[in-house]
Amino acid sequence: MKSVYFDNAATTAMRDEVIEVMSDVMKNNYGNASSSYSLGRLSKSIIETSRKTIAKLLNASPGEIIFTSSGTEADNLVLRSAVRDLGVKHIITSKIEHHAVLHTVNELEREYDVQITYLDLDSNGAIDFDQLGALLKTTGKVLVSLMHVNNEIGNILDIKRIGDLCKTYDALFHTDAVQSVGHYNIDLQEINVDFLAASAHKFHGPKGVGFAFIRKNSGLKPLIFGGEQERGLRAGTESVHNIAGLGKAMSMSYNNLESEVEYVQNLKSYFVSKLKKAIPDIEFNGLSEDLEKSTYTLLNVRLPIDLNKSAMFLFQLDLKGIACSRGSACQSGSNQKSHVLTEILNDDQLDKPSVRFSLSVFNTKQEIDYVVGVLKRLTT
């Protein structure tokens, strides 16, 4: 059976070079980075080298990069501390954010009686900028939390425009950039972002490590206590090999960015054209068909299949060796429909199977041909 991995928005394969760096660190640099002897100082040096690498790639200061276990932890650190420690009384977000944001703001509403406002969305999942501007005119400490690239439908948000709006009205801006860091150039001196979350395993790095960008002098305080690691913002012995892997993966992603974007973008364009030819009634969710307004790595398609056939569709693809998903991997074990698609599709559209295919530099046109052939057989 052929095996095709088209779920890179869920996680990516690590690059060989990343594995080599991590293996070397695990074998030779196992000292505790908080220790004062040479083995510990070497581990600390590895951590700080990765921090400087990331900061340089994002045009930030090394002290603004705080290592975490994941993008989810980074989102929680920012949102919870903003309410608890910075006096935020009103959070503006959308209902198609990752659950790392949605579940957190729901808890903050319950625990701290924070006002939560969800922006209106059009049928493609795009926000209403005029509504956001009007909301930002309200009094009180406001934080806007909107993701840069949607993990299910691929829509790209103009975070420069959002940041400028927030700056105009003295609001804080947090963006979950888990799907964009390592895939897009982000200049944090040009974009008015106060807080950003990222995760290594989305750009061919290891699982279990991510980082938060926290603008200097923000006043943010830790959620995890017990030590002075990470500028006092994240206690716990650092995972040196994971941090080294994160730095290496991010460096390689940006060193190869231009050629890899071109390669994957050509794959996506090819995929769209082949799908339209093979399945004329296919539809694309959100803006995922648009090569300018959606990420080059992702397609979310709605297939012309009746309700009776749709229930086992992903299982049938799995039997053919095709790894893909209907939405976020964090909820793939649930029988609930995608919360993102539920917000933008009507009931008839939701009855049809929607599938997310996400690509990487390790995919090929031959794999696309195989997947399109399977989809055509299953839809006829």
Give how far Cα 51 sits from Cα of 35, 120, 179, 339, Å.
19, 37, 20, 35
Give how far Cα 342 sits from Cα of 23, 32, 42, 152, 178, Å.
43, 47, 50, 12, 22
User: In b/e form, how buried is each residue of 262-284, taking b as 16+ CB within 10 angstroms?
Assistant: ebbeebbeebbebbeebbeebeb
- Residue 213 CA to residue 60 CA, distance in Å, equals 8
Phi, psi at 229, each rounded to 5°: -65, 160
DSSP per-residue string spanning 329-359 = GGGTT--SPPHHHHHHS-HHHHTS-EEEEE-
- Residue 71 CA to residue 68 CA, distance in Å, equals 7
- Residue 361 CA to residue 213 CA, distance in Å, equals 26
Identity of the residue numbered 84: R
116 is written with which tokens?
Answer: 């939560």
Contact at 8 Å (CB) between 220 and 85?
A: yes
- Residue 195 CA to residue 297 CA, distance in Å, equals 24
- Residue 336 CA to residue 325 CA, distance in Å, equals 13
- Residue 284 CA to residue 341 CA, distance in Å, equals 11
Place of tokens 């088209």: 6
- With 0-12 / 13-18 / 19 or more C-beta atoms within 10 angstroms meaning exposed / middle / buried, residue 342 is middle
Contacts of 123 (CB under 8 A, 6+ apart): 344
User: In b/e form, how buried is each residue of 10-22, taking b as 16+ CB within 10 angstroms?
Assistant: bbbebbeebeebb
Give how far Cα 97 sits from Cα of 11, 166, 191, 227, Å.
18, 18, 20, 32
Catalytic residue among 39, 224, 257, 330: 330
Q: Has 330 been annotated as catalytic?
A: yes
| Active site amino acids | 330
